[in-house]
Amino acid sequence: MKIMVAIKRVVDYAVKIRVKPDKTGVVTQNVKMSMNPFCEIALEEALRIRESGLASEVVAVSMGPAQSVDTLRTGLAMGADRGIHVEANGSLYPLSVAKILKKLVEIEKPGLLILGKQAIDDDCNQTGQMTAGLLNWPQGTFASKVVLDKEKQVVTVDREVDDGIETVSLNLPAVITTDLRLNQPRYATLPNIMKAKSKPIKKYTPEELNVEIKSDLEIVQVTEPPKRKAGVVLSSVDELIDKLKHEARVI
Amino acid sequence: MMNRNTRATLRLLTPFFNPRRNPSLLPSTPHFDENWWHSQTNIAHGEHRVSSLFNPLRFSVKNQQMGVGISTGIQHKCYASMPGLVQRNPRFSELNDDDVRYFQEILGQKNVVQDEEKLSTVNTDWMHKYKGSSKLLLQPWNTDQVSQILKYCNSRSLAVVPQGGNTGLVGGSVPVFDEVIVSLSSMNKIISFDKVSGILVCEAGCILENIISFLDNEGFIMPLDLGAKGSCQIGGNVSTNAGGLRLVRYGSLHGSVLGVEAVLADGTVLDMLKTLRKDNTGYDLKHLFIGSEGSLGIVTKVAILTPPKLSSVNVALLACKDYNCCQKLLQEAKRKLGEILSAFEFLDSQSMNLVINHLEGARNPLPTLHDFYVLIETTGSDESSDKQKLEAFLLHSMENELISDGVLAQDINQASSFWRLREGITEALMRVGAVYKYDLSIPLENLYNLVEEMRSRLGNAANVVGYGHLGDGNLHLNISVPQYDDKILSQIEPFVYEWTSKHNGSISAEHGLGLMKANEILYSKSLETVQLMASIKSLLDPNHILNPYKVLPHSLNA
């Protein structure tokens, strides 16, 4: 059985984000980019399933500009067998990504499609769900535990929901989106980094896949949240009463 | 060379420690053990050190219980790892109420602290190894106040200890007896920053991590970085000439500090706060204050040149099968990575085990255990070319069997977790028990031999770990024991110092001398040099009130 993992190249999680002066978006020039942390978890889960003998191949997919290949190489260095890069410049919203994934699934025919639950740059949390809808596949989102039963062709997923943990049983093929507590992704070791250089990355364009990239969304403005005011340490009760009366105006 | 040094040391120490020449120096405490005292004088006559016959920690606690402010008896301090006696210099006055009132007039009541709980914290060093008995903590917030404080203390012969973040590892930042603590923590403003030249001017009490965050916003970094950055202050870093993790790339503080404002013992404010890259006008006195550990003056402001923050940072953790490979790897790294190399650290398997087992959230990124680990960091301006260079270097090293395995951080989080493994060793050591800490500069080819010799000397009595800034030839030798024990100490000292001296190394690469190594300076500096240091000290601080009992041998300070 093949597993397909979708990974996204985003601004590194630890970078301090700054808004562009023209408020059209966030500064991405000269800023460190890395694999989306949830995508790392998704890839790690796929690798573990393959290592337990329940899958034969892990294919990593990424969509975006040419630099997305770097992120794919990281995925290959972690242990994925093959990479697919769909080159598309300009913004890609979840629905477009879902349509492309549907086409790739029809070509590759994986038994499982695993994604991160959301990307840390847009926080959409939509791609996995939309793809499952388009493919008419069952979905297990916010997975904190995944158990595959190859014989019965069923995957049991523990989902982290607001009320607690919900366990669902899905028939394969299925879509899973991963949450934080699912696993701890492995590091890319040097021998694997070297091996990754020779692993194949297939290139597609949206046109080749007959997908039209059009967006129904337009970003109007991006602003920073209002800055928190620093707290003040007061030195006496009188000062506290004074501030409550005149500044906070609550007494 | 070594023989001359130790004989010279003994000559210096003998008049102070020999009771037969100065019977009035005999302490009058009832728990004094004559046999132990004689064994100490045996040291002065060149025989090997005999372990003390009682627990020194208990001795010093008893002393405190008897009350330190008594002017009749002579006060003694015995430190957990110092088999010698330090006596309170009777020349120093004792604090009285008039003094406290004077300080309160200058600083206000809130900044003159006599509260016992607060004092207990500032009297104890970070390793909980040294504890003073100061009765007063002063918190000035501008240079003028520091000047007034020192002028007064000088006139009253009150001893003073300047204190920053109190993260020093040689007992240099806490009082030995009842010295007044002058804390620079309230002087924490960033005064100016020039975005073109990268020159930062700030007050001595700024915490290093805060400066780093400020500079991060401006697109610059500090030329030094160390594990203590969350608490240490720049004034203390400058006063101790701190080294840190990036010295191999940005050099020492003697190069990056462009100006210093310091206050001398008599209250004179020396304004050497220039922000110029080049200024050859006369003797460059600021260097006296960089590394003199607060014994020549209190640093109040610093002007420092900060390098621009480069976008491409790569961190790799590598495994080597023996120390020889680590050395060769360093040679190769300097050649192949050249200008982008920004850190080269090493740790042995014992250090790695300690961190993985005792630090929360730390895990070994490599699947198996290895004997040696090397952490390499590169910093450059072009992400793809740097990564290519690094990967080519790593591939080449693997093919030549210099490294047996390794991981390359793929994002900033992974990079921080690798650094945590190296920076967290100190913390992990503290959690396990007592530590005897040595910071030595040793020629590269012999560096690890000392660790192996200490292991065979101590056997099962201690866990000997070695790690450090391999790129600078700096070994941090740490001997972890369940509790401080003089028998173990006698196996360590003076062997470590003699070994280092024999290999022409330094007994203190970056930690300084403080109280811990004040009497050992002759292992690394000639007698004439030390005598000149003493002259300079007497010139700048004739009453010896600044950080007494530290840096220079005790007999020279009398």
Report pTM: 0.80
What is the full per-residue pLDDT of chain A (251 aa) written as tens digits? 999 999 999 999 888 888 998 988 898 887 889 999 999 999 999 999 999 999 999 999 999 999 999 999 999 999 999 999 999 988 889 999 999 999 999 999 999 999 999 999 999 999 999 999 999 999 999 999 999 998 999 999 999 999 999 999 999 999 999 999 999 999 999 889 989 989 999 999 999 999 988 888 888 999 988 888 888 888 889 889 998 998 888 88
**Residue B369 Cα, gap to closest chain A Cα (Å):** 14
**Residue A89 Cα, gap to closest chain B Cα (Å):** 20
**Residue A176 Cα, gap to closest chain B Cα (Å):** 24
Under DSSP, is residue B374 helix (H, G, I), strand (E, B) or coil? strand
pLDDT tens digit sequence for A51-74: 999 999 999 999 999 999 999 999
Q: Please answer whether residues B8 and B531 qualify as being in contact, where contact means their C-beta atoms are separated by less than 8 angstroms.
A: no
Distances A42 to A119, A210, B197, B250, B321 between C-alpha atoms, Å: 12, 27, 45, 40, 34
**Residue B413 Cα, gap to closest chain A Cα (Å):** 6
Contacting residues of A for B394, CB less than 8 Å apart: 190, 193
Distances A251 to A164, A242, A248, B462 between C-alpha atoms, Å: 42, 9, 8, 64
Contacting residues of A for B412, CB less than 8 Å apart: 12-15, 32, 34
Distances A63 to A43, A57, A75 between C-alpha atoms, Å: 16, 20, 13
Query: In this complex, which of A32, A74, A235 lies closest to B311 when CB atoms are compared?
Result: A32
**Alpha helices, H only, B337-464:** 349-358, 383-399, 412-423, 425-432, 447-458
Distances A71 to A9, A46, A197, B498 between C-alpha atoms, Å: 6, 17, 13, 53
Q: Six-digit token pair at B447?
A: 């560096």
Query: In this complex, which of A31, A184, A187 lies closest to B407 when CB atoms are compared?
Result: A187
Closest C-alpha to B150, from B308, B295, B18, B266:
B266
Residues with Cβ < 8 Å from B532, sequence gap 6 or more? none
* B28 Cβ under 8 Å from any chain A Cβ: no
| b/e A153-167 (16+ beta carbons within 10 angstroms → b) | eebebbbbeeeeeee
Question: Within 10 Å of residue B296's Cβ, how many Cβ atoms?
Answer: 24
Q: What is the DSSP letter of B518?
A: G
Tell me how far apart the alpha carbons of residues B166 and B173 are, in angstroms, rounded to a whole number: 6
* B218 Cβ under 8 Å from any chain A Cβ: no
Angle subtended by helix axes B527-540 and B2-17, to nearest 10: 50
pLDDT tens digit sequence for B208-251: 999 999 999 899 999 999 889 999 999 999 999 999 889 999 99
Closest C-alpha to B368, from B419, B411, B296, B319:
B319
Tell me how far apart the alpha carbons of residues A25 and A23 are, in angstroms, rounded to a whole number: 5
Closest C-alpha to B301, from B156, B450, B141:
B141
Closest chain A residue to B382 measured between Cα atoms?
A30
Across the beta sheet with A201-204, what order do the strands follow?
A: A164-171, A154-161, A139-149, A174-178, A112-116, A2-6, A57-64, A82-87, A201-204
Distances B453 to B464, B492, B520 between C-alpha atoms, Å: 10, 10, 21
Q: What are phi and psi of A178, to 5 degrees?
A: -100, 145
Burial of B503: CB neighbours in 10 Å, binned 0-12, 13-18, 19+: middle
Residue with the two structure tokens 């191949």: A57
Closest C-alpha to A223, from A56, A19, A36, A53:
A19
Across the beta sheet with B269-272, what order do the strands follow?
A: B190-194, B199-203, B298-305, B257-263, B269-272
CATH T-level topology, domain A2-225? Rossmann fold (3.40.50)
Find residues 110-149 of chain B whose CB sits inside 8 Å of chain A.
110
Closest C-alpha to B352, from B394, B320, B391:
B320
**Residue A168 Cα, gap to closest chain B Cα (Å):** 31
Tell me how far apart the alpha carbons of residues A121 and A143 are, in angstroms, rounded to a whole number: 20
Question: Within 10 Å of residue B425's Cβ, how many Cβ atoms?
Answer: 25
Pairing of strands A139-149, A174-178: parallel
Under DSSP, is residue B196 helix (H, G, I), strand (E, B) or coil? coil
pLDDT in the model for residue A228? 86
pLDDT in the model for residue B84? 53
pLDDT in the model for residue B37? 35
Residue with the two structure tokens 């949450």: A179
Q: Which of A12, A31, A187 to mutate to test the interface with B (most CBs of B within 10 A)?
A: A187
* DSSP per-residue codes, B51-110: PPSS-HHHHHHHHHHT-TT-SSSPPEEEETTEEEEEE--TTS----HHHHHHHHHHH-GG
User: Which element (helix H / strand E) includes B44?
Assistant: helix B34-44
Residue with the two structure tokens 């073109």: B196
**B410–A35 CB contact, under 8 Å:** yes
Tell me how far apart the alpha carbons of residues B467 and B371 are, in angstroms, rounded to a whole number: 12
Q: What are phi and psi of A167, to 5 degrees?
A: -105, 125
Q: How many CA atoms lie within 13 A of B276 on its CB side?
A: 7
**A14–B413 CB contact, under 8 Å:** yes
Closest chain B residue to A196 measured between Cα atoms?
B391
Q: Six-digit token pair at B164?
A: 């920053």
Residue with the two structure tokens 């072009």: B382
Residue with the two structure tokens 């300070």: B557
Q: What are phi and psi of A136, to 5 degrees?
A: 60, 40
Distances B440 to B80, B232, B242 between C-alpha atoms, Å: 21, 21, 14
Q: Six-digit token pair at B253?
A: 């503080």
Tell me how far apart the alpha carbons of residues B184 and B237 are, in angstroms, rounded to a whole number: 12
**B411–A32 CB contact, under 8 Å:** yes
DSSP collapsed to 3 states, chain A: CEEEEECCEEECCCCCCCECCCCCCECCCCCCEEECHHHHHHHHHHHHHHHCCCCCEEEEEEEECCCHHHHHHHHHHHCCCEEEEEECCCCCCHHHHHHHHHHHHHHHCCCEEEEECCCCCCCCCCHHHHHHHHHCCCEEEEEEEEEEECCCCEEEEEEEECCEEEEEEEECCEEEEECHHHCCCCCEEHHHHHHHCCCCEEEECCCCCCCCCCCCCCCCCCCCCCCCCCCCCCCCHHHHHHHHHHCCCCC
Residues with Cβ < 8 Å from B374, sequence gap 6 or more? B317, B318, B319, B320, B326, B329, B330, B344, B345, B346, B403, B470
What is the full per-residue pLDDT of chain B (558 aa) written as tens digits? 334 444 444 444 434 333 343 333 333 333 333 343 333 333 333 333 333 333 333 333 333 333 333 333 344 443 444 435 788 999 999 999 999 999 999 999 999 999 999 999 999 999 888 999 999 999 999 999 999 999 999 999 999 999 999 999 999 999 999 999 999 999 999 999 999 999 999 999 999 999 999 999 899 999 999 889 999 999 999 999 999 889 999 999 999 999 999 999 999 999 999 899 999 999 999 999 999 999 999 999 999 999 999 988 999 999 999 999 999 999 999 999 989 999 999 999 999 999 999 998 888 898 888 999 999 999 998 888 898 899 899 999 999 999 999 999 988 999 999 999 999 999 999 999 899 999 999 999 999 999 999 999 999 999 999 999 999 999 999 999 998 889 999 999 999 999 999 999 999 999 999 999 999 999 999 999 999 999 999 999 999 999 999 999 987 754
pLDDT tens digit sequence for A116-151: 999 999 999 999 999 999 999 999 999 999 999 989
pLDDT in the model for residue A165? 96
